[in-house]
Each structure stands twice: as C-alpha cells, then as structure tokens.
C-alpha cells in the first residue's frame, strides 16, 4: 500500500520524510511512547502507544507489510519489519535488507560487548549533512522502486 512508518522517538529525519511523503502523497505514521508535534496534514498521523519498552516497535511490526517503508535506527526493529517484507531505511540512509541485516546485528552485538568491557564509550556517530542527503536519495529510490512493482497479491484461504 506504500505507507511510511517512522520509529519516531529521537528520529532525526522526520522533517525530511514529511517533505518526501508530501511530494508522493503518502500516508505517514509516526509511532512513539509520547506525543510529538507534527504538521497539520491528513496524511501524517501521530500514534502514541502505551505499555512496555517495545510497544512502539510492536505497533509498527503489527501494521507494516509488503509495499511499506519503515524508518528506524533500531536494528532489532529493522529485522522484525524485514520479516514482514517491508522495506527498512536507517536514519543515515542505509537500507537494511535480508542480505545485510545479519552483519548489522552482529556488529550491534560486538559494539555492545566492547562498551560493556569499557573498550569504547558512547554510541553511534552523530548525524552529518551528508547523512541527510544520503537518506533523502535512498528514500526517493525506495519509493520509486516500490511504485514500479505490481501491488502485493493477497491470497484468500478457502474454507
């Protein structure tokens, strides 16, 4: 259906996503544990979830599917959305795919262990101007690719 789902807590590319989504007239769902100010637009919907640590992730996974785009920096969420056949784009413009998610997960675990042993401190590198450009280019490329594909076929079971 080509909806866009944003893991909105701390997402640095919300405004960029709104601009691209407006150009293509796509529906955008921002999902977070608390409300975030969003532009007044019928195609942009803020979804506030309550509950546990992964409540926003669970909502996104439940609603995304083939032909949708999920924007997140959360590698574990990316893996879950890929299982639903959604396209997943990181906030710095890297697309998570079935081919690279395993390496991303392994690297995440490796860095977690290095931090636990005090070998490194801090998290990922800060957002740079070139990351925003890369994000915009990749988002546009993914949308164009999805629009060229035939819509997913839903198979109804016979009872």
Q: How far apart are CA 36 and CA 48, in angstroms?
A: 9
- Give the chain's mean pLDDT: 86
DSSP strand pairing (87-89 vs 95-96): antiparallel
Per residue in 35-64, pLDDT (tens digit) is: 898 989 999 999 999 877 789 999 999 999
Q: What percent of the chain has pLDDT above 90?
A: 60
The pLDDT confidence band at residue 103, using thresholds 50, 70 and 90, is confident
Query: What integer pLDDT is reported at residue 17 of this predicted model?
Result: 96
Q: What is the mean pLDDT of residues 64-78?
A: 94
Helix (DSSP H) and strand (DSSP E) numbers for the chain: 5, 6
């Amino acid at each position: 259906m080509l909806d866009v789902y944003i893991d909105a807590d701390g997402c640095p590319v919300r405004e960029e996503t709104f601009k691209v989504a407006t150009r293509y007239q796509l529906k955008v769902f921002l999902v977070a544990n608390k409300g975030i100010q969003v532009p007044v637009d019928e195609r942009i919907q803020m979804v506030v979830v309550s509950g546990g640590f992964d409540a926003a992730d669970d909502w996104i996974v439940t609603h995304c599917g083939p032909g949708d785009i999920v924007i997140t920096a959360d590698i574990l969420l990316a893996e879950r959305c890929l299982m639903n056949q959604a396209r997943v784009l990181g906030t710095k413009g890297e697309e998570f795919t079935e081919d690279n998610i395993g390496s991303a997960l392994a690297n995440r675990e490796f860095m977690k262990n290095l931090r636990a042993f005090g070998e490194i401190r801090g998290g990922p590198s800060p957002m740079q101007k070139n990351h925003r450009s890369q994000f915009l280019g990749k988002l546009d490329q993914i949308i164009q690719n999805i629009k060229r594909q035939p819509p997913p076929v839903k198979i109804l079971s016979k009872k």
